[in-house]
A and B are shown apart, each in its own frame.
Chain A
Amino acid sequence: MNPTKQVNQNTNQNPDQGKLLQTDASPEISFKAVNKSFARLDGYEKVTGRVAFGADISKYRQIYAVNVLSPLAHAKIMQIDLSQAMKVPGFTAAATAADVPGSNSMFGRFPVLAAEEVKFIGDGVAVIAAETREAAVLAASLVKVTYRELPAVLTVKEALAPEAPRVHPDLEDNHIEHSHHKMYSGNVETGFSQADIILERDYTTGFAYTGYIEPEAVAVYPDPGRNGIVIEGTIQNPYSVRENVAAALGVPMNHVRVIQTAIGGSFGGKDESVIVMAARCAVLAAKTRRPVKMVLSREESSRIGGKRHPYFSHYRIGATRDGTITAIEDTVYAQGGAYNKQAMFLNWRGSVHAAGPYRIPHVKTDIYGVYTHTLYGTAYRGFSAPQLVFAVESLIDELAEACRLDPLEFRLRNCLKPGDTIPSGQTLDPEKMPANLREILLAVTDKTGFKKKWQENRIRAIQPGHQNLKQLTPQQLSGIGLSATYRGAGLGGEGLDTGAAVLTLDRDGYLNIQSSSTEMGQGIRTAHAQIAAEVLGISMDRVSFSPTDTSITLDAGPTVASRGILSGGNAVKIAAEKIRARLASAAVEILGCTRNPHPSRNGGKEALEFSNDTVYLSACPENSISLTELAMECHRNRGIPLTAQGWFTPEPEKLDHATGQGNAYPTYLFGAAVAEITLDPGTGKISVKKITAAYELGRAVNPDIVIGQLTGSIMQGLGYGIMEEIDVRSGALQTLNFDEYMLPGVMDLPEVDILLYETDSNVGPYGAKGIGEIGIELIAPAIANAFFNATGRRIRELPLNFERALLGKALR
């Protein structure tokens, strides 16, 4: 088994985290650039306000586009009257479904503009362009649409009722195509017959808004230099935008050039909404031959921007009296909304993880996606995990209670260990995947004194009369809760996980990276630069990057699923290694030595060293050449190309999609968290005091960025757990801005103590597995379990806001 290195990271107390990592590094591994907290490559531009975000785009003669959105959940469009809108001074153009030149059905059945009928409150009916945004807003408000209202299905229950109106009449019912995923192993009836204790529980989570600081913005303009259009904007997945807009315009993909601007947060969300916006603006740009810009207001972004899918999970679980889980059976429904680009992938990921990080011999999971006449679900950090980990980790706590074991003891007894097999039949090979969940659970609980605190609170909570405290005492009840998770790295069986990069070492010895992964604040540019710098021994200030531009960078799918490091980073590493090999071939001649027949990853064993912007003989460091001279020599005299492509695809997964059996993901991350809360028993107000979380992440390419990602994730998890709730009464979104939608602010930040566990997993570059998502999923269940610990009451619905915490249920 590979050694595990633990690195203490306390965000509140150790500002100098990078240094800590260095001093703790295992002696046998020493890195030059990786595993160090370099400043972000794009940091200066961002903190000084120089960077251009989507809304900053301004083009000569641009016009402004504004959407006309449906006020009804389901209705037939009878007539669209533009006459009043056209009278507004400054009105330039309008488009409806009839103006879409190509296909009006994009991936996931999203129309550019609704043609026959609207399917949710927020569906686009028309788009108006005018000389100013104000004129466009006014004109859009004057578009008169006549609807004939139709019966709508607003909940999963309504959608699945017999004879329910169908969201898509060409389908047999409201099940989303290919969204039912199964994970069957063993025989659950056998498992339940062995159980002494069986629990059956329902857990519910609602929509959650990504709430990025920057609302969506795009600008579309006729390409000034060639046939086609250019799209710039706050786009997470430029290749998806290119493909869908090309189809909508009926042109080949190379007529659509997509350039990503800096993005003020995305978290998976700037996908469907920007595709639709770009397509609408493209139709207007084609019609007017003028640049068309669309920037959503916060209210519009709330209506059509990224939302996590609601999950309705029914679980049945059994255990023997001594606390060994024998079987788990679950049926889960994801509310997909009116259109769907995600449920088939989301639910597949969900099906792999629905039984939690436990060794359970008999598992039966069925996850379904359901169309409703409501806003649609998108990818949002976690991609099924925040919903399911809340359910499973609440359930495990309940089962532990029923078995009269404390939550730690119960988890230690059942958690996955190296060599165990997960429900898909995949074995956690100790060499490749050192599943150290046990170690992690012990670390977070030791560090917090979990057992003692949990027992004390529990004893207090079951004392008779404790509920009387409710009325008068200002005394806060304290609670402590535990949760654990594991997470497949990258796309796994969701789809082809290829990453791509092109690296160019210029003749002056400076490097440029064109990566297929997009930067959206997560720091991928810096991480990729560190990986390239590690290979080439080049200093970080010599590394730059190309903006993401579909006419420059390579199409290797979307930047999702925390795959920027695993597949994107490996692609960078491969390209850098190619350049290194070419440089080495020149260097051996110049320095006059023989080439090592095995110049590979056995660090320190090569004849040549690449370090400090210099190449030298390992045996004789004085015999050296600077990278600048070497690059110049290759360019000028030797004709050696110093541009290289790297493509990387993780091992093909052997997976049977019909049964879910096979190797689901190339590797897994593990995590555990403890939440310490106080509850005001008089108001139901939960204050999260401290989160202690540990993650096994392979390797932290840039520890500061990793801590930043995890801390942000933890905050989003906290909001999901106790604050964030989208009110969609009658299908209409009530929570349109941050006065109603409660996103946690900086003053809500608890003390955060993050422990990083590094292992030499050989799948990602230098072992790194990708840390973008795992931070979020542990927090809501840890809080819910802490609430139980404080009160003896269990809340099975998120968020645990004042009303649920006090009354046990939502007010409406």
Chain B
Amino acid sequence: MKPLAILQPETISEVIAVIDEYDNRALCIAGATDVMIALRNRELPEATELLVDISRIAELQGIREDENLIKIAAGTTHTEIEQDPLLQHYAPCLCAAARSIGSPQIRNRGTMGGNIVTAAQCADTIPPLMVLSAEIVLVSRCGTRILPIEEFFTGPKKTARRNNELVTEIRFAKPPPNARGYFYKLMRKETVAKARISIAALAEQSLDGTISLLRLSPGSVTPRPRRFYPVEQLLEGRKPDEHLIEEAAGKTAEIMVSITGRRWSTPYKEPVLRTLAARALKEILTIEEQPHVQ
């Protein structure tokens, strides 16, 4: 193994200058919860020569409100996300996802930027960010690029980030005030467990009960994170009832199978995703009581 150098810059512009120069030979490290394991397992990218420690850059810390936007700096830890009052108000589903990650030690170290740049299939914060329609801010020497989160993920553990770009921020528009969010993670044990399946959803209903907004994103079931648009389209503009929810849940499972094909795990995942989708929708949608016919 080649000896690795480590650099600890203090500003974003320093990081950008370095990663621009080193290209694929530089690797940014923040919480180190993924990089250290890769290092130990000798699984770092072949070309890596320089680790750029971005964990001490003040500009990469914190959560703030900017008019209609909530901006999360990429170096914000899962613990901070879990406990942030602003996020608890505007995006409780994201706080719930952060709370479900690993153990307190991992949450104290791991960052939101790291979670999305690693782009693991089972990353816990991604489904909520998908339903929040988050945007990823990438900064390089050439300027700033803002990508919708769906365009950011291009495949399993693959993203649209270029080697000379640093993810500095994840941001999203505040959901409508009466929108309801949901996150559930199915795990084999209560801590330090990857998601077997997770699901995030966000919905808004107009006063007459019509679904005016619906977003749905299951995690750990498709090679790259996705919104399940056909399900959303099925529901939007309609008034929910048990039947519609069952139909939407069935469609959710169907879409998963259409993407992945029938695999060894499909006999389990298909019915369970249907159940979890139905539960998510039931939780966030208000079904109007049918008047009793005497």
Could you count the A-B residue pairs with CB atoms below 8 Å apart for me: how many are there? 69
Q: Is the CB of A723 within 8 A of B275?
A: no
Q: Please report which residues of chain A, range 717-748, place their CB below 8 angstroms from some CB of chain B when the two chains form the complex.
A: 723, 738-739, 742-748
- Which residues of chain B come closer than 8 Å to A658, judged between CB atoms? none
Q: Spot the interface stretch: A242-250, A533-541, A649-657, A800-808.
A: A800-808
Interface residues of A in 61-95 (CB under 8 A from B): none
Asked whether A683 lies within 8 Å of B275 as measured between CB atoms, the reply is: yes
Question: CA–CA, A474 to B276, complex, Å?
Answer: 9
Q: Which of B234-248 contact A (CB under 8 A)?
A: 242, 245-246
Contact indicator A723/B278 (Cβ below 8 Å): no
Other-chain residue from B188, B267, B275 in contact with A471 (beta carbon distance below 8 A): B275
Residue from B194, B264, B279 having most chain A Cβ neighbours under 10 A: B279
Question: Known: A471-B278, A472-B279. Contact between A811 and B189, CB under 8 A?
Answer: no
Contact: B192 with A738, CB < 8 Å? Answer: yes
Set of chain A residues within 8 Å of B196, measured between Cβ atoms: 802
Per-residue A-contact encoding for B67-88, CB less than 8 Å = 1, 0 else: 0000000000000000000000
Residues of B within 8 A of A723 (CB): 188-189
Is A41 in the interface zone, CB < 8 Å from B?
no
Question: In the complex, are the beta carbons of B276 and A683 less than 8 A apart?
Answer: yes
Contacts of B192 in A (CB 8 A): 738-739, 745
Q: How far is the CA of A644 from the CA of B190 in the complex (A)?
A: 51
CB nearest neighbor in B for A134: B1
Contact string against B for A residues 779-812, beta-carbon threshold 8 Å, 1 for contact and 0 otherwise: 0000000000000000000000111001100011
A742–B189 touching, CB < 8 Å: yes
Residues of A within 8 A of B274 (CB): 471
Known contacts A685-B186, A811-B264, A812-B264; is-contact A472 B275 (Cβ 8 Å): yes
Judge if B282 is at the interface, Cβ distance under 8 Å: yes
A802 B189 Cβ-Cβ under 8 A: no
B265 within 8 A of A: yes
Given known pairs A682-B279, A811-B267, the reply for A745 and B189 (CB within 8 Å) is yes
Interface residues of B in 156-192 (CB under 8 A from A): 186, 188-192
User: Are A742 and B193 closer than 8 Å at their CB atoms?
Assistant: yes
Closest to B267 in A: A807
Cα-based distance from A193 to B196 in the complex (angstroms): 50
Near B by CB (< 8 A), chain A positions 655-698 give 682-685
Report the minimum CB–CB distance from B141 to chain A (whole Å).
Answer: 36
Contact of B186 with A683 in the complex, beta carbons under 8 Å: yes
CB-CB nearest in chain A for B274: A471
Q: How far is the CB of B186 from chain A (nearest CB, A)?
A: 6
* Distance in Å: Cβ of A686 to nearest Cβ of chain B: 10
| Distance between Cα atoms of A777 and B263 in the complex (Å) | 35
Bound together, the chains give a CA A472 to CA B245 distance in angstroms of 10
A97 at the interface (CB under 8 A from B): no
Count A interface residues, CB 8 Å. 27
Q: A138 contacts the other chain (Cβ, under 8 Å)?
A: yes
Whether B268 lies near A807 (C-beta < 8 A) is yes
Q: Does B272 make an interface contact (CB < 8 A)?
A: yes
Interfacial residues of chain B within 250-294, with CB under 8 A of chain A in the complex: 264-265, 267-268, 271-272, 274-276, 278-279, 282
A684 to B282, CA, bound (A): 20
Cβ of B277 to closest chain A Cβ, rounded Å: 10
Let me know if B265 and A683 touch, CB within 8 A.
Answer: no
Contact A748 B189 (CB under 8 A): yes
Alpha-carbon distance A807/B267, docked complex (angstroms): 8
The answer to whether A474 touches B189 (Cβ under 8 A) is no
Interface members, chain A 451-492 (any B CB < 8 Å): 470-472, 474
Which chain A residues border B190 with CB–CB below 8 Å? 745, 747-748
| Docked complex Cα distance between A4 and B279 (Å) | 51
Please, which residue of chain B has its CB at the minimum distance from the CB of A719?
Answer: B189
State A801–B189 Cα separation when bound (angstroms). Answer: 10
Given A683-B186, A806-B272, also A739-B265 (CB < 8 A): no
Total B residues in contact with A, Cβ cutoff 8 Å:
26
Contact of A682 among B245, B246, B275 (CB under 8 A): B275
On chain A, the residues within 8 Å of B246 by CB distance are: 471-472
For B263, the closest partner residue in chain A by CB is A811
Closest CB in chain A relative to B1 CB, distance in Å: 7
Q: Which B residues are in CB contact (< 8 Å) with A745?
A: 189-192
Distance in Å: Cβ of A586 to nearest Cβ of chain B: 58
**Is B191 a contact partner of A747 (Cβ separation < 8 A)?**
yes
Residues of B contacting A134 with CB < 8 Å?
Answer: 1
Instruction: Return chain B residues, CB-CB under 8 Å to A739.
Output: 192, 194
A742-B188 contact given A472-B275, A474-B279, CB 8 Å threshold: yes
Partner of B265, one of A472, A684, A746, A811: A811
A134 to chain B, nearest CB (A): 8
Q: Point out which of A474, A683, A742, A801 has the most chain B C-beta atoms below 10 A from its C-beta.
A: A683
CB contacts (< 8 Å) of A685 on chain B: these are 186
Question: In whole angstroms, how far apart are the Cα atoms of A278 and B276 in the complex?
Answer: 51
Q: What 0/1 pattern do residues 142 to 154 of A give for CB contact below 8 A with B?
A: 0000000000000
Q: Contacts A806-B268, A807-B268 known; A682 to B276 CB distance under 8 Å?
A: yes
Q: Which of B193, B245, B271 is in CB contact (< 8 Å) with A806?
A: B271
Of A138, A471, A811, the residue contacting B268 (CB under 8 A) is A811
- Compute how far the CA of A138 lies from the CA of B282 in the bound complex, rounded to whole angstroms: 54
A748-779, CB < 8 A from B: 748
In the docked arrangement, what's the CA distance between A590 and B13, Å?
A: 88
Taken together as a complex, chains A and B put the C-alpha atoms of A49 and B249 apart, in Å, by 52
Contacts of B278 in A (CB 8 A): 471-472
B189 touches A744 (CB 8 A): yes
A811 to chain B: which residues have CB within 8 Å? 264-265, 267-268
Q: Is the CB of A746 within 8 A of B272?
A: no
The complex places the Cα of A812 from the Cα of B264 at a distance, in Å, of 7
Could you tell me the distance between the alpha carbons of A806 and B186 in the complex, rounded to whole angstroms? 14
- In angstroms, Cα B193 to Cα A17, docked, is 33
B193 nearest CB neighbor, chain A only: A742
Of A682, A685, A806, the most chain B CB neighbours within 10 A belong to A682
Contacts of B271 in A (CB 8 A): 470-471, 682, 806
> With A and B bound together, what is the CA distance between A748 and B189 in angstroms?
7
Residue of A nearest to B40 (CB): A297
Q: Which residues of A contact B275 (CB under 8 A)?
A: 470-472, 682-683
Q: How far is the CB of A799 from chain B (nearest CB, A)?
A: 10
Q: Which of A298-323 contact B (CB under 8 A)?
A: none
* Least CB distance, A247 to chain B, in whole angstroms: 36
Contact of A747 among B189, B242, B282 (CB under 8 A): B189
Q: Mark B188-228, 1 if CB is under 8 A from A, else 0.
A: 11111110100000000000000000000000000000000
**B268: chain A residues within 8 A (beta carbon):** 684, 802-803, 806-807, 811
Given the complex of chains A and B, what is the CA–CA distance between A745 and B193 in angstroms? 10
A801-B188 Cα distance, complex, nearest whole Å:
8
Residues A118-143 near B (CB distance < 8 A): 134, 138
Complex alpha-carbon distance, A802 and B269, angstroms = 10
Taking CB atoms, residues of chain B closer than 8 Å to A807 are 267-268
Is there contact, CB below 8 Å, between A138 and B1? Answer: yes
Report yes or no: A683 in contact with B272, Cβ–Cβ below 8 A: yes
Interface set, chain A 5-33, CB cutoff 8 A to B:
none
A670 to B279 CA separation, bound complex (whole angstroms) = 44
**Complex-state Cα separation, A471 to B273, whole angstroms:** 10
Bound CA–CA A747/B191 (angstroms)? 6
Point out the residues of chain A lying under 8 angstroms from B249, CB to CB.
472
Contacts of B186 in A (CB 8 A): 683, 685, 802
- B245 surroundings in chain A (CB, below 8 A): 472
Determine the distance from Cα of A811 to Cα of B193 in the docked complex, in whole angstroms: 20
B120 to chain A, nearest CB (A): 11
The residue among B189, B194, B265 with the most chain A CB atoms within 10 A of its own CB is B189
Cβ distance B279 to chain A, nearest Cβ, rounded Å: 5
- 4 smallest CB-CB distances across A and B, nearest first, come from A682-B275, A747-B190, A747-B191, A745-B191
Query: Could you write out 5 A-B pairs with CB less than 8 Å apart?
Result: A682-B272, A739-B192, A745-B190, A803-B268, A811-B264
With A738-B192, A745-B189, A746-B191 known, 14 other A-B pairs at CB within 8 A are A471-B275, A472-B242, A474-B282, A682-B279, A742-B188, A742-B189, A748-B190, A801-B188, A802-B196, A802-B268, A811-B264, A811-B265, A811-B267, A811-B268
